[in-house]
Amino acid sequence: MPIIRAIPTSQARAFQAGETDANGQVPRRAISTGTGNPCRHCLNDVPENAAMLILAYRPFDSLHPYAETGPIFLCADPCERHADGSDLPPVLTTSPDYMIKGYNTTDSIVYGTGSVVEKELIHSRIAEIFADPVVAYIHIRSARNNCYQARVDRE
């Protein structure tokens, strides 16, 4: 089974400690409404009335044409990283659909893999994308705002 991964704890802790984001800005602090504020580290919604961070995130190690940057939310206080696994984490069950696309070993999008998928079909679409041996990993993003949600690696 493919493995769904949250952002690394080292990145989350750096942002929570005030490290600048992908745009070179200190993360913005806000208060969560309790829904629609998915933390990319614990993969749960930031609890209602809890402090959260809003920041620009680029889930790539280097700058290149496919290195998309977009807004994400994080719990402002340290939270436990969601355990890697094949089950859909809570943040991937709140929307009716998600954008999924595959990347190769040079972090380029594998054309033809991108699609908007109903949440009930995420696992089957992941399997279809990984059937292409060129695909090294997959990103799951918001279908409405293109915000990064999680990474999927082969088993």
pLDDT in tens, 144-153: 988 999 999 9
Unique residue bearing structure tokens 């972090």: 107
pLDDT at 56: 97
pTM, to two decimals: 0.94
Question: Sheet containing 148-153: which strands, arranged edge to edge?
Answer: 3-5, 148-153, 137-142, 97-103, 115-118
Residue ranges making up the domain that contains 36: 3-75
Long-range contacts of 107-113 (CB under 8 A, 24+ apart): 107/60, 107/61, 107/62, 107/64, 107/66, 107/67, 108/64, 108/65, 108/66, 109/66, 110/134, 110/135, 113/138
Res 38 pLDDT > 90: yes
pLDDT at 21: 97
101 and 67: one domain?
no
pLDDT at 49: 98
| Domain stop point among 44, 75, 106 | 75
Res 6 pLDDT > 90: yes
23 and 61: one domain?
yes
pLDDT at 86: 95
97 and 123: one domain?
yes
